């Protein structure tokens, strides 16, 4: 499913580290795709205001859908005021006019929202907004909190689950799927076949089901997917000379991954794989 795939299966931590070294050269040498010669990007600046009451107006945007057949698209984000963040959705037309923001009705803590082409929104606070339905909470399966980082056009949501009241940054990576009625199912925990103490945390998911993220405690970017019901994990490694990496975005077809590499002394570089 993914280029340069090397099944990790139930490998040990040593095999993971070896895989990281093998991928570093490929990561450095792979050239980016050139833009089509006959296409020049055209951008129009649109000021997406926040909610008018009680005088919010301030806003953040975190995710954008693909345009539909008419060129309209969705933008998901927050309207905020005095430390309170409310999830909202804008519907933007090709000419820059827009409807919204629509108040999705979530709690005043729902930062970082992701949206798919159907206008389904998932938030970092673990809430899901399906058009025509009430707000829903992602099941935490015994944990204390669920966090969503991305949603694809197959209604698959990725993120992680916290298992303590301290709200630690990472618990266990998870995948949720909305059923035909728009209800999120129980999470699939993304730890199958990984060495003890290592977990895969996904930050994005393609429409083909490939997840981009990192292997926590190894400091390594990775991609993962399910093949025949079995979780497959591929480490991507860091750029040469760097000792930590994290994959944060993936193209909709699952063939390109973007992320960040860093050195212990503090320098940071973006990468495209």
Where do runs of H (alpha helix) occur along the chain? 13-29
Tell me the C-alpha distance between 158 and 38, whole Å.
Answer: 36
The 10s digit of each residue's pLDDT in 40-92 is 666 677 788 777 776 667 888 888 888 888 888 998 888 877 777 788 888 88
Name the pTM for this structure: 0.77
Peptide bond just before 101 cis, omega within 30 deg: yes
Q: Is the pLDDT of residue 187 over 60?
A: yes
Q: pLDDT category, 7, cuts 50, 70, 90?
A: very low
Tell me the C-alpha distance between 114 and 176, whole Å.
Answer: 14
């Amino acid at each position: 499913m993914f280029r340069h795939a090397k099944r990790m299966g139930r490998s040990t931590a040593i095999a993971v580290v070896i895989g990281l070294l093998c991928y570093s050269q490929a990561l450095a040498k792979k050239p980016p795709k050139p833009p089509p010669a006959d296409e020049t990007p055209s951008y129009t600046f649109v000021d997406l205001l926040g909610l008018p009451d009680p005088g919010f107006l301030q806003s953040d945007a975190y995710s954008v859908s693909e345009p539909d057949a008419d060129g309209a698209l969705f933008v998901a984000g927050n309207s905020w005021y005095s430390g309170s963040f409310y999830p909202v959705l804008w519907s933007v037309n090709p000419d820059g006019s827009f409807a919204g923001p629509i108040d999705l009705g979530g709690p005043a803590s729902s930062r970082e929202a992701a949206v798919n082409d159907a206008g389904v929104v998932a938030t970092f606070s673990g809430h899901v907004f399906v058009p025509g339905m009430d707000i829903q909470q992602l099941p935490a399966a015994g944990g204390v909190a669920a966090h969503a980082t991305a949603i694809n056009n197959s209604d698959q949501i990725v993120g992680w689950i916290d298992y303590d009241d301290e709200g630690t940054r990472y618990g266990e990576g998870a995948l949720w799927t909305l059923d035909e009625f728009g209800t999120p199912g129980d999470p699939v925990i993304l730890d199958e076949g990984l060495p003890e103490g290592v977990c895969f945390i996904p930050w994005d998911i393609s429409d083909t089901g490939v997840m981009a993220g990192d292997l926590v405690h190894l400091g390594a970017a990775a991609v993962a997917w399910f093949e025949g019901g079995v979780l497959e994990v591929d480490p991507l490694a860091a750029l040469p000379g760097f000792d930590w990496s994290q994959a944060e975005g993936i193209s909709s077809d699952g063939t390109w991954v973007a992320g960040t590499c860093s050195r212990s002394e503090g320098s940071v570089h973006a990468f495209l794989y």
